[in-house]
Amino acid sequence: MNTLAILGGKPIIDYPLPLYPSIGKKECDAVMSVIASGSLSGFYGSWGDEFWGGTTIKQFEQRWSERFHIKHTISVNSNTSGLIAAMGAIGLSPGDEVIVPPTTMSATVMSPLFYGGIPIFADIEDETFCIDPNEVRKKITSKTKAIIAVNIFGHPARLSELRQIADEHGIYLIEDNAQSPLGMEAGAYTGTIGHIGVFSLNYHKHIHTGEGGMCTTNDDHLALRLQMIRNHAENIVEPVHMSDLSNMIGHNMRMTEMSAAVGLAQLEDADMHIDRRTRLAESLSSIVAELPGLTPPAVRENCRHIYYVWTMKYDAAVVGIPRDVFSKALNAEGFPNFTGYIRPLYMLPVFQQRTAIGRDGFPFILAPHIRYEWGMCPVAERLYSEEFICFETCAYDISSEILSDFARAIHKVYEYRHELASAVMSVSD
């Protein structure tokens, strides 16, 4: 009865977990009415009313600005596009340095490369897993143009402190807010404290449009440049008298009217979607809080965590078996978890082989003194290799019955973990 599933016992959760029902009738109706109108995009890549997009896009951007208390919102087709547009908008030039954390989705650290910028990795905090302002300070040079802070897992980075550092040095703070819509620090929404915030609306996030992203800023000039990069800037520089032509080569990063219609519906229900995941994460935290060696995610004072990923820290010395064995045993009981989150991004081939744009090592040839090697960010490396155990809160629809089963699974593995110690060799691959 109490044999661990990984050792051949019966798993606690032996039924498929239902997926989170993020799309409902409201979204369907909204898309159908756009389709019925026949106007699937209102954008045109030249100057005029249609430069700004169609009616649904404009409405979605306006609602977003109201909801997040920000002056400008620029919709794009992904957070990745939004980050690239942000790097272009701030005038990033080849050889400029951009300080980034190593623990994030890869798009964060790739964005500077598109303009020849050099990503400079600064370690993260042990408690909140966001970029550490003290490490950021050490990395600032005369070449630093921006800091990209990531509100990782849904918890705000030390945004006001980072903004202050940026302002002191006359550089930009960009927030990658993909994982933290409606997160808060000291009463302000994440994504609105930096010079530009970038949100993701991809399928896996709290609220989504399938694919999509939103850029937010209070700065009129940055807003215009973001809009231009989104939509064929080169055609617009003359009519708007843009004197600074740097990076005014445009893309097509435009969102469709259908996506905007879904986004409007999702935004209306954002609190409901986010609260459901937050309650789930808080319940998971209270389950593990009692178990020595398992540390639930921290929430810094005056902050709101919205738990895109619920991430606990595992202490093998206290629990007595290796993390990866514990994680596999939990998976075998039917509690879907993963370890590590992400290998520190400087270990990606692009950095190890210093090959990004073209064959000849651009832009890394502009920064021969910058090294990318294991050992650079010890906190990020330790959390990745030894401590993180994660649960994707947006994936499943977790009822209170399933939640009790999660609790039973965690308690079962914890209680019988010593049976695993002897079997460690056979389960670790």
Q: Which residues bind ligand PLP (CB under 6 A)?
A: 78-80, 104-105, 107-108, 150, 176, 178-179, 200, 202, 213
Min dist. Cβ of residue 263 to ligand PLP (A): 12
Q: Which is nearer to ligand PLP, 158 or 412 (CB)?
A: 158
CB neighbourhood size of 298 (10 A): 15
Closest CA to 63 of 206, 55, 185, 221: 55
Task: Show the DSSP H helices in 106-158 as ranges.
Answer: 106-110, 133-139
CA distances from 153 to 175, 292, 310, 371 (A): 13, 23, 7, 27
> What DSSP string runs through 63-85?
HHHHHHT-SEEEEES-HHHHHHH
Min dist. Cβ of residue 80 to ligand PLP (A): 3
Min dist. Cβ of residue 393 to ligand PLP (A): 13
| Residues 173, 179, 181, 184, CA torsion sign | negative
| Residues 70, 194, 232, 214, CA torsion sign | negative
Q: Which is nearer to ligand PLP, 108 or 278 (CB)?
A: 108
Q: How far apart, in whole angstroms, are the C-alpha atoms of residue 297 and residue 266?
A: 27
Min dist. Cβ of residue 367 to ligand PLP (A): 23
Min dist. Cβ of residue 58 to ligand PLP (A): 21
Q: How far apart, in whole angstroms, are the C-alpha atoms of residue 216 and residue 173?
A: 12
Q: Which is nearer to ligand PLP, 5 or 131 (CB)?
A: 131
Structure tokens at 267: 């935004």
| Phi, psi torsion values for 218, nearest 5 degrees | -95, 0
Q: Which is nearer to ligand PLP, 117 or 334 (CB)?
A: 117
Q: Which is nearer to ligand PLP, 120 or 319 (CB)?
A: 120
Q: Which is nearer to ligand PLP, 326 or 384 (CB)?
A: 384
Min dist. Cβ of residue 364 to ligand PLP (A): 22
Q: Which is nearer to ligand PLP, 101 or 133 (CB)?
A: 101
Min dist. Cβ of residue 200 to ligand PLP (A): 3
| Phi, psi torsion values for 99, nearest 5 degrees | -85, 125
CB neighbourhood size of 238 (10 A): 9
CB distance 42 to 53 below 8 Å: yes
DSSP state of 226: H
Q: How far apart, in whole angstroms, are the C-alpha atoms of residue 68 and residue 197?
A: 11
Q: Which is nearer to ligand PLP, 181 or 334 (CB)?
A: 181
CB neighbourhood size of 244 (10 A): 10
CB neighbourhood size of 203 (10 A): 13
Q: How far apart, in whole angstroms, are the C-alpha atoms of residue 273 and residue 196?
A: 24
**Sequence-ordered list of residues with C-beta below 8 angstroms from that of 265, at least 6 positions apart, any chain:** 26, 27, 30
Min dist. Cβ of residue 94 to ligand PLP (A): 23
Q: How far apart, in whole angstroms, are the C-alpha atoms of residue 341 and residue 306?
A: 17
Min dist. Cβ of residue 63 to ligand PLP (A): 19
Q: Which is nearer to ligand PLP, 297 or 334 (CB)?
A: 297
Q: Which is nearer to ligand PLP, 105 or 402 (CB)?
A: 105
Q: Which is nearer to ligand PLP, 107 or 136 (CB)?
A: 107
Min dist. Cβ of residue 50 to ligand PLP (A): 25
Helix (H) or strand (E) holding 188: strand 188-189
**Sequence-ordered list of residues with C-beta below 8 angstroms from that of 188, at least 6 positions apart, any chain:** 159, 160
Min dist. Cβ of residue 328 to ligand PLP (A): 25
Instruction: Show the CA angle centred on residue 178, arms to residues 323 and 211, nearest 5°.
Output: 110
